[in-house]
Every structure is written in C-alpha cells, then in structure tokens.
C-alpha cells in the first residue's frame, strides 16, 4: 500500500454517506477515488463518476460489481446494508483488500460471518466513524465503571425520518458497552419500548429509545440518573462529513494492519 496516496473504491456510492465519501476522496490530499459501485439495476450503472457525482478529474464509471474495477486500489469503503457489506467482505476475503465498513443493522449471525471473513483481510468495522462518537464510547465505559451503583442508565437516539433500522447501530454499541461494564447480558437487560403498566424499573436495566423525524443527521444521549442528580453524555452530528472524515482516517490506517477485525477505537489508539 502506498502510504502517501490511499486509493479507494466506494460501495454504495450514490447513498447519503457514499456521495460524501466520494467527494472527500476526490478532493482531500493523500486520497484518490478509483471506482464506485452501486446495486445491479441502478440507472446510473455505466455512467461516469463526473456525470453522476459531480466529482472532477476522476476517471471511470459506476459499476455493479467490485470485480469489474480493473484499476489497482488499496481500500474498499462500504456504508450500505448488511447483505451488501457481506458481499464486499467476501470480495476482500478472496483478494486480501483492506476494508472500512460503516454499515449498521447486522444480525448476530451476520456480524459473526463478517468477523470470520475478516480473518483474511484487515477490516475496520464500526457503527459510527466519527471521532466524537468514538470518544463517547470510551467515556460511556469510564462513567459506567464509576457509577456502577445508585444510577439508572438510559440511551436515547434520534435520526432523520428516512433511517431504516432502529435502534441505531451507535445506540446498540453504547448499550453493549454499558452491559459489558456492568457485567449484564444485554439480551436480558435491554428495554426498547415502554408502554402501559410496566411496573417499577429494574436495577439491571438499560433503556434504549429511538426517535425519528425531520433531517436529523444523528443524536445520541446517554443518561445516568441517580438520586437528586443526573449526568448526561451527548453527541450531536450536524453533518455527515464527520462520519466521512472518520472513514478516511480509518482508510489511511487500516491498510498497514494485519488481517483481522478492528474498530475506530483501534484507529484512534484509545484501547
């Protein structure tokens, strides 16, 4: 891998995140956009990247298969859907190409399959690529360790009206961090909806609530509620560029790593 210039291909190039990543790859020094992939049947298949994405000085057309890209590239960046990302991982498993995957909504079985495939290539997979959220993950663990008794914890997330999965991958990751810090089983402790006569809140309970509306890029709040006091950790994303910039940071880092699964805490050295 050329450490001076990281060449990337974007899967899901016409999605909300894909478009922002493509534009950054085409304009940020040290990166190059070598290709773009969309799902078969998309009307933009075969059209130039300049025509479809408005990026200048980038050769090539949008294709429907990673294998159709003939130019050499270092990293695949994929913010799509679990089924698509598993196809990306299968390609990387066979070719040894590094990957950055920001897809959310994996089932337990799908994520296990992704982990198994990544044994043959370096892969950064995180539900949220922003630097701020990555630091939030660490803070959540630290606060949970400090407030182990006497505090109830709730996770609230809000996203735009078009988001297809709930809770968000970021909220689920926060809940997993909390459960691990407390020594709980999230399958038993997680409460995703309250309605009617629910009775008193259990001690070993992690509430995860989802709000949808408008054009909210992403907002996550973790509340630690004690007697007479409350501590809140909040992250608000005002632009998708924070996720796209994080993906580029991961793309520069991952190519120099041994095969295996990593996340953004690895990328930022927060382990």
Half-sphere exposure of 33 (CA within 13 A, CB side): 30
What confidence score (pLDDT) does residue 222 get?
Answer: 98
Query: Does 235 participate in catalysis according to the annotation?
Result: no
On the question of pLDDT at 2 being above 80, the answer is no
What confidence score (pLDDT) does residue 179 get?
Answer: 98
On the question of pLDDT at 263 being above 70, the answer is yes
Residue 257 exposed, middle or buried by CB count within 10 Å (0-12, 13-18, 19+): middle
Distances (CA, A) of 101 to 42, 89, 131, 259: 21, 9, 15, 14
Query: Higher model confidence: residue 204 or residue 1?
Result: 204
What confidence score (pLDDT) does residue 53 get?
Answer: 85
DSSP secondary structure string, 138-173? HHHHHHHHHT-SS-EEEEEEEE-TT--SSS-HHHHH
Question: Which class does domain 131-237 fall in?
Answer: alpha beta
Distances (CA, A) of 171 to 104, 127, 160, 165, 220: 11, 9, 15, 11, 7
Band of the pLDDT at 3, cuts 50, 70, 90? low
Query: Does 159 participate in catalysis according to the annotation?
Result: yes
Run of H or E residues at 119: none
What digits encode the pLDDT tens for the residues 35-90?
999 999 999 999 988 888 888 778 778 999 999 998 899 999 999 999 999 999 99
Catalytic: which of 34, 159, 220, 235? Answer: 159
Name the CATH topology of 6-125+240-267: Rossmann fold (3.40.50)
pTM comes to 0.84
CB atoms within 10 A of CB 222: 25
Catalytic: which of 47, 87, 138, 163? Answer: 163
On the question of pLDDT at 1 being above 60, the answer is no
Band of the pLDDT at 208, cuts 50, 70, 90? very high
CB atoms within 10 A of CB 72: 9
Cis peptide before 169 (omega within 30 of 0): no
Task: Give the chain's radius of gyration (CA, Å).
Answer: 20
Beta strands in the chain (DSSP E): 6-11, 31-37, 62-63, 75-78, 98-101, 122-125, 152-159, 190-191, 206-212, 218-225, 230-237, 260-262
Domain regions of the chain by residue span: 6-125+240-267, 131-237
Could you tell me which residues come within 8 angstroms of residue 100 by beta carbon, excluding any fewer than 6 positions away? 75, 76, 77, 78, 123, 124, 125, 129, 247, 250, 251, 254
User: How do beta strands 75-78 and 98-101 pair?
Assistant: parallel
Mean pLDDT for 213-238 is 97
Band of the pLDDT at 249, cuts 50, 70, 90? very high
């Amino acid at each position: 891998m050329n450490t001076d210039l990281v060449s990337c291909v974007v899967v899901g190039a016409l999605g909300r995140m894909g478009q922002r990543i493509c534009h950054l790859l085409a304009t940020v020094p040290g990166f190059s956009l070598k290709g773009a992939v969309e799902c078969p049947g998309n009307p933009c298949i075969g059209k130039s990247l300049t025509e479809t994405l408005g990026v200048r000085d980038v050769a090539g057309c949008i294709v429907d298969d990673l294998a159709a890209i003939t130019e050499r590239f270092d990293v695949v960046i994929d913010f799509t859907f679990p089924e698509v990302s598993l196809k990306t991982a299968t390609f990387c498993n066979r070719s040894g190409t590094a990957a950055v995957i920001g897809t959310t909504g994996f089932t337990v079985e799908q994520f296990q399959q992704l982990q198994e495939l990544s044994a043959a290539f370096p892969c950064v997979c995180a539900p949220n690529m922003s630097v701020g959220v990555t630091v939030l993950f660490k803070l959540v663990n630290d606060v949970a360790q400090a407030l182990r008794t006497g505090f109830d914890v709730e996770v609230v997330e809000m996203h735009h009206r078009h988001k297809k999965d709930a809770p968000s991958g970021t909220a689920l990751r926060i809940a997993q961090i909390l459960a691990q810090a407390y020594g709980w089983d999230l399958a038993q402790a997680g409460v995703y909806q309250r309605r009617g006569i629910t009775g008193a809140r259990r001690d070993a309970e992690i509430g995860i609530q989802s709000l949808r509306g408008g054009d909210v890029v992403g907002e996550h709040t973790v509340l630690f509620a004690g007697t007479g006091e409350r501590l809140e950790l909040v992250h608000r994303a005002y632009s998708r560029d924070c996720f796209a910039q994080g993906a580029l940071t991961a793309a520069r880092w991952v190519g120099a790593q041994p095969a295996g699964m990593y996340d953004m805490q690895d990328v930022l050295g927060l382990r």
